[in-house]
Structure 1
Amino acid sequence: MKTILLHGDYTQASYERLQKFIKVAKKRGWEIQRINSNKSLSLPEALTSAALFANNRLFVLEDVRSIKKQELEWLAKKSVKIEGNLVIYHGGFLPQTILKFLPKDTKIEEFKLPRLIFAFLDSFSPKNSKKALKLFHQVSEKEPVEFIFALLSRHLRDLYWVKVDAEGLNYPSWRISKLKKQAKFFSESLLKEIISDLAEADIKAKTSKASLKDSLDFLIITKLE
């Protein structure tokens, strides 16, 4: 069995890659089987239940963390004897504790967020509206505004939590330290206010009452002045 892993924090790109695999498989007339959609079957059962014509079938696994350790060990040992193609998709970086159980010949495609996006997120702080706005416009020329919005919302949530309960964040120490450094520029009330504004902007965009890009422009100008 040919196994491919798609993972990384650049979920926009990794998901598009997954859809490309599915599109090509459909074009070839292959059957698509999503393993997680059938909770009644274990991973071994799902991969071996259709041995006939399995080479013309694409298996898609989108929740590898739900797979038991014993099943992953089975996959590593038996994959060479199984016909078919398996694409494992994970919206984030898989830890080494899971990677080590994948078949040795697994093709790993890693998707990392562009540095410009990190630069924008790092620039998002009070008294820095000019730089943040410039970087936002640069990023939005290459990435969907909805994707940027989702990343910013998650980042602001992390800044808030590191300020009120740093121990509750399950991040590496270097990540916690970096968040703490940026969070110092915000008051707790300002972070709450910005998070609330982001939620309101999301609702307005979904109800076609305001452009998401315009809302982010306004938020950066008024909250980071």
Structure 2
Amino acid sequence: MKVIILHGDDTQKSYARLRIFIDVAKERSWEVNYIDESAQSFEEILSASSLFGNERFFILKDVKKLGKKEYLWLNKRQEDLSGTLIIYNEGPLNAATVKNFSIGTKVEEYKLPVLLWNFLDNLLPGKGEFCVRSLHKILEKQPVEFVFSLISKHIRDVYWAKVDAASAGFPFWKINKLKSQASKFDVLSLQKLISVLSAIDIDVKTSKADLISELDLVLLKHLE
């Protein structure tokens, strides 16, 4: 069995890659199985025979479903199993998780550009004008909808790190980074920013606002 891991911070690219795999599988009339949606165990799904004798194609989006037992079983049986297994994770997997898979597993990691990372790290009070300039540089190569989704998610993560870091489940390095950024905000400011971003999302989807203009205003007003 071929096992392929798709992960990384650039969820737009990793998901696009997943869609390509799914489209190719359907074009070839492969039997597509979504493991997360099945009531059967991981082992039962991968061991079952194809109903129509077609090539089998499996997708797992929640890697947390795999425990030590599943990893040991997969690594032991991988060469004997038929088909392709795609492990898709919305975000980066830590090195320890990737190491649970066999050496023959193909790993594709999609990283955000450095400019985007720097932009997110600088979403801080007093950095409004800097963030607006950075935003427009980023928009020369990235769609605004994607950047907006990253901003919204990042601010929620910063808030989470501030109010309940222990339950976030992020890697140690990420928690420390988020807590450092969160220390520059008070809780009320973050709550207000999350609320404003949510309102913008609704307005844009109902064609009541221009997303780039709204982002400019948010960055200047809430990070002044």
TM-score, normalised relative to structure 2: 0.88
Q: CA deviation at 1:13?
A: 0.9
Q: CA deviation at 1:144?
A: 2.7
- Where in structure 2 are the equivalents of 1:45-124 lying within 5 Å? 45-50=44-49, 56-124=55-123
What residue number does 1:150 align with? 149
Q: CA deviation at 1:85?
A: 1.3
What residue number does 1:206 align with? 205
Q: CA deviation at 1:97?
A: 4.2
**Count of aligned pairs:** 224
Unaligned runs of 5+ in 2: none
Alignment partners' CA distance in 1, 2:172 and 2:70: 31
Alignment partners' CA distance in 2, 1:69 and 1:83: 22
Answering whether residue 194 of structure 2 is matched by residue 195 of structure 1, we say yes
What residue number does 2:36 align with? 36
Q: CA deviation at 1:201?
A: 0.7
Would you say the 8 A contact 2:9–2:92 is kept in 1?
Answer: yes
Q: CA deviation at 1:198?
A: 0.7
Amino acid paired to 1:14: S
Alignment partners' CA distance in 1, 2:207 and 2:182: 32
Q: CA deviation at 1:77?
A: 0.4
What residue number does 1:125 align with? 124
Q: Kindly tell me: are residues 181 and 49 of structure 1, through their superposed partners in 2, closer, same or farther at Cα, counting changes over 3 Å?
A: closer
Q: Kindly tell me: are residues 120 and 57 of structure 1, through their superposed partners in 2, closer, same or farther at Cα, counting changes over 3 Å?
A: same
Would you say the 8 A contact 1:9–1:113 is kept in 2?
Answer: yes
Amino acid paired to 1:113: L
Answering whether residue 39 of structure 2 is matched by residue 8 of structure 1, we say no
Q: Kindly tell me: are residues 161 and 56 of structure 1, through their superposed partners in 2, closer, same or farther at Cα, counting changes over 3 Å?
A: closer
Q: CA deviation at 1:175?
A: 3.0
Alignment partners' CA distance in 2, 1:64 and 1:167: 20
Q: Kindly tell me: are residues 174 and 96 of structure 1, through their superposed partners in 2, closer, same or farther at Cα, counting changes over 3 Å?
A: closer
Single out whichever of 115-124 and 150-159 deviates more from structure 2.
150-159
Q: Kindly tell me: are residues 172 and 69 of structure 1, through their superposed partners in 2, closer, same or farther at Cα, counting changes over 3 Å?
A: closer
Alignment partners' CA distance in 1, 2:33 and 2:167: 37
SS for the counterpart of 2:74 is helix
What residue number does 1:19 align with? 19
Alignment partners' CA distance in 2, 1:54 and 1:93: 35
* Identity across the alignment (%): 45
Alignment partners' CA distance in 2, 1:90 and 1:202: 24
Alignment partners' CA distance in 2, 1:12 and 1:155: 15
SS for the counterpart of 1:176 is helix
Alignment partners' CA distance in 2, 1:98 and 1:166: 21
Would you say the 8 A contact 1:55–1:83 is kept in 2?
Answer: no
Unaligned runs of 5+ in 1: none
Q: CA deviation at 1:194?
A: 1.4
Single out whichever of 178-187 and 144-153 deviates more from structure 2.
178-187
Q: Kindly tell me: are residues 57 and 180 of structure 1, through their superposed partners in 2, closer, same or farther at Cα, counting changes over 3 Å?
A: closer
